[in-house]
Structure 1
Amino acid sequence: MMPSTNRILGKSVIVTIIAVVATFGLSFTARLALQMPIDWLSWVECTFIPILIGMPVSAYIFAQSETIQDTCDKLEKSHTALREAHERLTFVTSHDPMTGLLSRGEFMARMDRRRDEGECDTVLLIDPDHFSSINDKHGHFKGDETLVQIAKALVYATRPGDSIGRLGGEEFGILLREARKEQGMTIAENIRRNIEGIPWVRGQQDVVEVTVSIGGAEISRNADTQNVLRIAGRCLFEAKQRGRNRVSFEYEPTRLQDAEERKTRRRFE
């Protein structure tokens, strides 16, 4: 027999025994109170009637109870599986599959939420120096490995409440919670040093040297997040112009204007 069948029969037998005992007690008490004789028919009625009625009724009730419980268990398992699938889907849609960092959309959404909360944060833009040469010299597999190592360094150098995202290609972004410009510059410099100090040597013919340039901007209350990112991008460009492998929270507008003019001339040449 199946375990559920044994449980149903066991419960039904117990209920039937209780019914028989209760029937004897009530029937004999009533007969004695009314001074009615207790004959063999009384014994038969008090024994078989509870068995004939109580046994099938209780078995049916307990069988339905088992069915309902089994259905509830299946629903619970389905709900757990659905919740886990939703969590996996949410993670996949909000995170970069290669590095495990936030996607650009999720990173921007967190910036917007922090702005709406009225907190003063700092955003950093991190870009590897001469990254295309790594792909050209060592191949795209090594380039992907480099991005993963940089992502790990960013996680190591930031605080638990900070948000780290891969904004596209080789560019990364960090949202430093409740950090002013001075603290942001300190964290950015630690990040730059950590990445510069990563042991990339894998052999005599497999040497990868990686540095990053970092641009940062403080996010004031009710600031436009796109504008903040543009300012951080200009600071990143300034860090590149000043020799790379450095941190910049300031930029010179004339350099940006010259860069835009060079791009325009190349477009029409």
Structure 2
Amino acid sequence: MTPRSTRILGKSLVVTAIAVVATFGLSFTARVALQMPIDWLSWVECALIPILIGLPVSAYIFNQSETIQDTCDKLEKSHTALKEAHDRLTFVTSHDQMTGLLSRGEFIARMDRRRDEGEYDTLLLIDPDHFSSVNDEHGHSKGDETLLRIAKALIYTTRPGDSIGRLGGEEFGVLLRDVRKERAITIAENIRRHIEGFPRIKGQQNGVKVTVSIGGAEISRDGDPQDVLRVAGRCLFDAKQRGRNRVSFDHQSFRSQGLVSEARSR
């Protein structure tokens, strides 16, 4: 006998026993009150009728109850599994698979938040220096290791409320929430120095020395994310032009987007 059958039978017997006792009590009380005789047939009726009716009815009810409970449990498990799958899918679509940072689309969506009057965020664009030579001379595995080190450094040197994303290839973005330019420069310098202090990544010959260039731009209340990205990109290009491994929040000229893209690949 299965545990389910045992539970159903046990509950049914308890209910039937209660029904038998109740039937005896009501029937015999009524017969005494009406001065009717209590014969053997009265005993048989009071015992058999509750058993013949109550036992199968209660068994059916408890069986249906168990079935409904099993269905509810399965639905709950299915709902939990579906929610976990949805959460995994949401994470995959909004995060970079290699670094675990935000994807470009999710990062830009967070840039486009509503800000109060006088509230500013600041965008940092971080790009490793001479990254193409790392891949060419030491292999893509060392390039991936470089990107993972930078990602961990960004997590370590920023606040929990800031947003960090991999914007494509080797470029990273940091959204400093409610931070103006002056403080953002200090944070950017901390990031640059922290990464500059990394031990060399083991590779061919002397290994890989990791440094980054950083460009930044403030985001005002009505700032357009694409415009801010362009300004920060020009500042990043300026940092590259002035020798790399430095922070820039002021671009000297509005160069073409093609030159900016070229600088990011260096």
Superposition TM-score tier, normalisation by shorter sequence: over 0.9
- Determine if the alignment matches structure 1 residue 228 to structure 2 residue 234: no
Counterpart CA distance in 2 for 1:227 and 1:215 is 14
Per-residue displacement from partner, 1:224-253 (whole Å, max 9, x unpaired)? 111111111111111111111000111111
1:267 paired residue number = none
1:197 paired residue number = 197
One-letter amino acid of the counterpart of residue 51, structure 2: I
Distance verdict in 2 for CA 1:98–1:204, change over 3 Å = closer
Shift of residue 119 of structure 1? 4.1
- Determine if the alignment matches structure 1 residue 210 to structure 2 residue 210: yes
Distance verdict in 2 for CA 1:205–1:158, change over 3 Å = same
Shift of residue 198 of structure 1? 1.1
Task: Determine if contact 1:200/1:207 at 8 Å carries over to the other structure.
Answer: yes
Per-residue displacement from partner, 1:82-139 (whole Å, max 9, x unpaired)? 0000000000000001111000000011111245898421110000011001011101
Counterpart CA distance in 1 for 2:114 and 2:173 is 15
Distance verdict in 2 for CA 1:118–1:43, change over 3 Å = farther
2:163 paired residue number = 163
Counterpart CA distance in 2 for 1:57 and 1:204 is 82
Paired-residue identity, %: 79
One-letter amino acid of the counterpart of residue 143, structure 2: G
2:238 paired residue number = 238
Task: Determine if contact 1:200/1:208 at 8 Å carries over to the other structure.
Answer: yes
Counterpart CA distance in 1 for 2:118 and 2:50 is 73
Task: Determine if contact 1:104/1:165 at 8 Å carries over to the other structure.
Answer: yes
Task: Determine if contact 1:216/1:232 at 8 Å carries over to the other structure.
Answer: yes
1:130 paired residue number = 130
- Per the alignment, in what secondary structure is the counterpart of residue 67 of structure 2? helix
Task: Determine if contact 1:116/1:222 at 8 Å carries over to the other structure.
Answer: no
Task: Determine if contact 1:118/1:222 at 8 Å carries over to the other structure.
Answer: no
Counterpart CA distance in 2 for 1:129 and 1:114 is 34
2:2 paired residue number = 2
1:60 paired residue number = 60
Distance verdict in 2 for CA 1:119–1:4, change over 3 Å = farther
Task: Determine if contact 1:124/1:217 at 8 Å carries over to the other structure.
Answer: yes
Task: Determine if contact 2:142/2:203 at 8 Å carries over to the other structure.
Answer: no
One-letter amino acid of the counterpart of residue 197, structure 2: G
Q: More helix by proportion, 1 or 2?
A: 1
TM-score, normalization by structure 2: 0.93
Counterpart CA distance in 1 for 2:202 and 2:165 is 27
Per-residue displacement from partner, 1:148-171 (whole Å, max 9, x unpaired)? 111111111110011000000100
One-letter amino acid of the counterpart of residue 96, structure 2: D
Counterpart CA distance in 2 for 1:113 and 1:18 is 66
Task: Determine if contact 2:20/2:50 at 8 Å carries over to the other structure.
Answer: yes
Per-residue displacement from partner, 1:177-236 (whole Å, max 9, x unpaired)? 111111111111110011111112437736110100000011111111111111111111
Distance verdict in 2 for CA 1:27–1:74, change over 3 Å = same
One-letter amino acid of the counterpart of residue 112, structure 1: D
CA-based RMSD of the aligned residues comes to 1.8
Runs of 4+ that moved beyond 6 A: none
Pairing 1:54-203 to 2, within 5 Å after superposition: 54-115=54-115, 119-202=119-202
Gaps of 5+ in 1: 264-269
One-letter amino acid of the counterpart of residue 89, structure 2: L
TM-score, normalization by structure 1: 0.92
1:252 paired residue number = 252
2:34 paired residue number = 34
Distance verdict in 2 for CA 1:236–1:159, change over 3 Å = same
Gaps of 5+ in 2: none
Counterpart CA distance in 1 for 2:200 and 2:84 is 37
- Aligned residue pairs: how many? 259
2:21 paired residue number = 21
